[in-house]
Amino acid sequence: MDSRNIALIVHPTLRQDKNRCPQVSKGDYQLVIARCQQLEKRVFPKSEAMDLSKELRKPNQFLYVVLQIPKSASKPDITRDPLLSYGVLAFNKVDAVARISKVCTDPRYRKQGAGELVVRGMLTSVGHPCETGSEEMQESLRLICPIIQTKVASVQLHVDTERQDAIRLYTRCGFVKKTEIQGYYAENRNAFLMSRSFIFLG
């Protein structure tokens, strides 16, 4: 994955970081949510599909989008550039836990680093960047700005026990399995609760 032709856009972001992060108009934000929703319906069964428009209206919900920028373009076009992957992160101020509620990658772009960029972008934006990853990955993450001013104690997620590629991705990003939840998705479809916890010094 060539970082020069990839854009990771996070929305919303802190106002003071507007000079560092690509700005997204309200209209364009709704258009990209619709694009993500279309991908969601293609990739996930109806029983697991998330109503992104409804979900992202809730407080402390953040959308991460990875786009492929044409080589001739000077900046990303969030409404037209190929959508490789997206993710949704929610933050609970009460327990200082961020939860990854969705990561979805277009099947045509899997195993190219787009989903990993979404997850690493989430960790970076809550103040816990990954120390590992390719130079291209680190370059893409360099401009990610903070979205939460409160210290985040851990990031958690659920993943289907049969989705080995996804489990390997989360493991590479520092997540560990905490427990297996029987029937989380449906009868005979279990989930691992995975978590990445952080220690605060001082």
Mean pLDDT of 31-45: 92
* Percentage of the residues of the chain whose pLDDT score is greater than 90: 42
Residues 2, 56 contacting (CB under 8 angstroms): no
Rg (CA), the chain: 16
Residue type, 90: A
Q: What is the dihedral of CA 170, 174, 179, 180, to 10 degrees?
A: 10
Residues 122, 63 contacting (CB under 8 angstroms): no
In what side-by-side order are the strands of the sheet with 83-92? 6-11, 61-68, 83-92, 97-105, 154-160, 189-197, 176-186
Mean pLDDT of 91-104: 91
pLDDT category, 125, cuts 50, 70, 90? confident
What are 53-68's pLDDT values in tens digits? Answer: 999 998 889 999 988 8
Strands 97-105 and 83-92: antiparallel
Q: What is the model's pLDDT at position 83? A: 93
pLDDT category, 93, cuts 50, 70, 90? confident
94's CB contacts (< 8 A; 6+ apart) are none
What are 174-191's pLDDT values in tens digits? Answer: 999 999 999 999 899 999
